[in-house]
Amino acid sequence: MTSQETGQTRPGTRLQPSSPLGVAMIGYAFMGKAHSNAWRNVSSFFDVPALEQKVLVGRNADEVAAAAARYGWAESATDWRSVISRDDIDIVDICAPGWMHAEIAIAALEAGKHVLVEKPLANTLAEAEAMVQAAQAARTRGVESMIGFNYRRVPALALAKELIAEGRLGAVRHVRAAYLQDWLADQTAPMTWRLRKETAGSGALGDIASHVIDQILFLLGEAVTEVSGRLHTFVDRRPGPEGQEDVTVDDAAWATLSLASGAIASVEVSRVATGKKNSLTLELYGDKGTLLFDLENLNELGFLDATVPVREQGFRRILVNEPEHPYLDAWWPQGHIIGWEHTFTHQIRDFLHALSHGAAPSPSFEEGLAVQRILDAVEESANAKSSTIQLSGPADTAAAAPTEGA
């Protein structure tokens, strides 16, 4: 089977449970629903350790109980601290808002629980650094952690990673990357926690630019050395429960990233791009070829081979549905497309596979911190109005490339 493994083997950390792994998940809204679907289905399609959906945690007792029943969790709770102290919990999956990530993740790691946390790693750089320190300390005790950049698990993007690693694009010169949505295009759309800096950290920057930047690091396997950026809020007040409220995060962001190889990447993200529903587009231009991807057609990859004679060149559509493609031998006969939700199932598969094989889950918290440093530099550059921010050091190294495995 062609799939994406998750890093190097760690001596002495192979997970060999004598009973099913107990999973607790914190958060039950959008991401909680997506992750629950993955935990519920992963064992039906992949060979992973046995698990039990033990408990779903949320602040509203009635709502979390209803969600637990709907999503397949054995019970619900409102106190995450008591849940992570339980002996029957082995894994804590954090789908709560970003302002809660650091406190919960650090406590869970200190309690000896393996941790999966949704992106971005945290709301601030200081929180992200503290999470990495906790992850490194836990790792010495055989306790692992991973950040949930699920788009690494889109089969077409995993295939793109393979083609780039094989040299099919040659030297990548520049990248155009955009993530455009329109759920805030209507200026009467109501306030949510995602539009308040104290709860969200940032707007489109942290929410969706984090995905774009992680993809650049993942696909190219190198570091970002220089950043310039701009942020903008198009609708600065929105209706809240008690009247109009100030929006304190960005609606859109732009950045130019210089990479260690000399490649240049342009990044554009927006929540007010009317007509764009969930369009993550990537264009990678090398001296031997080009790759094109759009999340709204996530089963397809565009590829141009510039090494063939010019008279034969042209973009060809690869329908990424063959058993030879990453992850797909676990699903349906070729030609039967899969969807966005499958990326979370692949993510859980890779996390469990890493734990059971003593491997380092990827993306690690360190990789999440590398993304966080770039996001922070974009914001710093934007606030300074056109200054360029230099990045260097081990914390900024690119994401380690997963290796193929059976």
pLDDT digits (tens, 9 = 90+) for 288-309: 999 999 999 999 999 999 999 9
Residue 14 pLDDT grade (very low, low, confident, very high; cuts 50, 70, 90):
low
Residues 271 and 311 in one domain: yes
Residues 135 and 218 in one domain: no
pLDDT at position 258 is 98
Residue 397 has pLDDT above 90, yes or no: no
pLDDT, averaged across the chain: 93
Residue 15 pLDDT grade (very low, low, confident, very high; cuts 50, 70, 90):
low
pLDDT at position 9 is 52
> Which residue among 110, 127, 151 closes a domain?
151
Q: Where are the beta strands (DSSP E) in 87-223?
A: 91-94, 114-118, 145-148, 172-180
Residues 52 and 200 in one domain: no
Q: Where are the beta strands (DSSP E) in 189-278?
A: 224-232, 237-240, 243-246, 252-259, 264-270
Please tell me the distance from the alpha carbon of residue 401 to that of residue 139, in angstroms, as a whole number: 19
pLDDT at position 17 is 62
Residue 402 has pLDDT above 50, yes or no: no
Selection from 70, 90, 69 nearest residue 23 by Cα? 90
* Residue of higher predicted confidence among 10 and 100: 100
Please tell me the distance from the alpha carbon of residue 250 to that of residue 199, in angstroms, as a whole number: 13
Selection from 60, 151, 147, 55 nearest residue 101 by Cα? 147
Residue 400 pLDDT grade (very low, low, confident, very high; cuts 50, 70, 90):
very low
Q: Where are the beta strands (DSSP E) in 12-81?
A: 21-26, 51-57, 75-77
Question: Which whole-number Å values give the CA distances from 104 to 30, 115, 187, 330, in the listed order?
Answer: 19, 9, 34, 33
Q: Which tens digits make up the pLDDT trace of 359-375?
A: 999 999 999 999 999 99
> Which residue among 151, 170, 204 closes a domain?
151
Mean pLDDT to the nearest integer, 50-57:
98
For tokens 């309690």, the residue is: 111
Instruction: List, in sequence order, every residue forming a beta bridge with 175; answer none if it has no partner.
Output: 265, 284
Phi and psi torsions of 193, nearest 5°: -60, -25
Nearest-Å Rg of the Cα atoms of the chain is 21
Mean pLDDT to the nearest integer, 76-85:
98
> Which residue among 151, 173, 201 closes a domain?
151
4-8, 308-312, 351-355: the lowest-pLDDT one = 4-8
- Residue 201 CB coordination number (10 Å): 24
Residues 192 and 333 in one domain: yes
Residues 203 and 83 in one domain: no
pLDDT at position 394 is 47
Q: What is the CATH number of the domain that holds 23?
A: 3.40.50.720
Residues 364 and 265 in one domain: yes
Asked if residues 21 and 41 have their Cβ atoms less than 8 Å apart, the reply is no
Please tell me the distance from the alpha carbon of residue 327 to that of residue 299, in angstroms, as a whole number: 12
pLDDT at position 387 is 84
- 143 is in which domain, residue-wise? 3-151
The answer, yes or no, to whether the previous bond of 120 is cis (omega within 30 of 0) is: yes
Q: Judge if pTM exceeds 0.85.
A: yes
Please tell me the distance from the alpha carbon of residue 153 to that of residue 133, in angstroms, as a whole number: 26
Residue 89 has pLDDT above 90, yes or no: yes
Q: What is the CATH number of the domain that holds 391?
A: 3.30.360.10
Q: Which tens digits make up the pLDDT trace of 116-128?
A: 999 999 999 999 9
Asked if residues 305 and 168 have their Cβ atoms less than 8 Å apart, the reply is yes
Residue 16 pLDDT grade (very low, low, confident, very high; cuts 50, 70, 90):
low
Q: Where are the beta strands (DSSP E) in 75-223?
A: 75-77, 91-94, 114-118, 145-148, 172-180
Residues 178 and 299 in one domain: yes
Residues 156 and 249 in one domain: yes
Q: Measured between alpha carbons, how far apart are the two ends of the chain, in Å?
A: 5
Burial of 167 (0-12, 13-18, 19+ CB in 10 A): exposed
Residues 279 and 202 in one domain: yes
The percentage of residues in the chain with a pLDDT greater than 90, rounded to a whole number, is 90
Residue 275 pLDDT grade (very low, low, confident, very high; cuts 50, 70, 90):
very high
Please tell me the distance from the alpha carbon of residue 387 to that of residue 302, in angstroms, as a whole number: 35
Residues 138 and 166 in one domain: no
Asked if residues 87 and 112 have their Cβ atoms less than 8 Å apart, the reply is no
Residues 372 and 332 in one domain: yes
The domain total for the chain is: 2
Please tell me the distance from the alpha carbon of residue 217 to that of residue 394, in angstroms, as a whole number: 14
Residues 89 and 66 in one domain: yes
